[in-house]
Amino acid sequence: MTAQGQPRYRGVFPVAPTVFTDSGDLDLDGQRRAIDFMIDAGSHGICILANFSEQFVLTDAERESVQDAVLEHVAGRVPVIVTTTHFGTAVCAERSRRAQEAGAAMVMIMPPYHGATFRVPEESTFQFYQRVSDAIDIPIMVQDAPVAGTPLSPAFLARMAREIENVSYFKVEVPQAAAKLRTLIELGGDAIEGPWDGEEAITLLADLDAGATGAMTGGGYPDGIRQIMDPYEAGRREEAVEAYGRWLPLINYENRQAGLIAAKVLMKEGGVIKSEAVRHPLQPLHPKTRAGLIETARRLDPLVLRWAR
């Protein structure tokens, strides 16, 4: 917390896609352009190497390349969250230490993850986060996502917030996220510095009503998410409700139809990046799905479609 009792980080922190060439190589120049667009579009901060960044198709060397290129290019303009998820405690701790050294403001970590049915006991999960915390001095965001397959009760999350020094942010993107956020805040009190919304903002309004102070969304339209978050933060809830209704068709299209490729498609369509390629076994969007995404976006005139024009 700051001296005034406010969270260090709040607002819109979208996930940056990892940019590839058409042949599947890293495109670090395109990566830098994507980051510049996201900052210009109003991102309060940026998250890299998350699941929506296709972190699971990158080699360790490529992770380092993306991390270093982004943090060097951002150069402190906005805080950057680096995802360091790994099943191995020592590997996750080392990734997190390396991210801190490179300039990360925070690390985001799922519980030990190796497939949705491969789980470890609660006490081992506690020790996992404890050992990672011991290795760094920056905040840890616990990513509570269905893909991890590990149940994390509000009481357990609150316990970690109280007892593990750097565990203070929580991205909740499970069913009934708002109810879980509300219970987590009630149980954890001041130890819960950052209760955050996720899952492309599909539940953003309910999560804000439950007390969420941050949103980690897709990277294609931070300016649209700001139109919801800013009035809500200023106490103008009806304006936020109206904006949420206006942007919901695009949010829904990303969440339910396009997935992680949505940001790349929008950036490619707007000339921010040269390729919307994803790595196999992921597949490009069906042409009709792609057309539907662009049509839905154009009705809203997001910056992504005109930033490079």
Active site residue 171: yes
Tokens of 133: 């915390």
Q: Which residues in 205-237 are b (16+ Cβ under 10 Å) and which e? A: bbbbebebbbbbbbbbbbbbbbbbbbbbeeeee
Candidates 257, 272, 234, 200; CA nearest to 51 is 200
Distance between CA 222 and CA 232 in Å, rounded? Answer: 15
Tokens 């701790």, located at residue: 93
DSSP SS3 for 53: helix
Choosing from 171, 180, 264, 268, which is the catalytic residue?
A: 171
Question: Cβ neighbours of residue 206 under 8 Å, at least 6 residues apart?
Answer: 177, 178
Torsion of CA 16, 22, 25, 30, to 10 degrees: -40
Cβ atoms of 146 and 173 within 8 Å: the answer is yes
Please identify every residue annotated as catalytic: 171
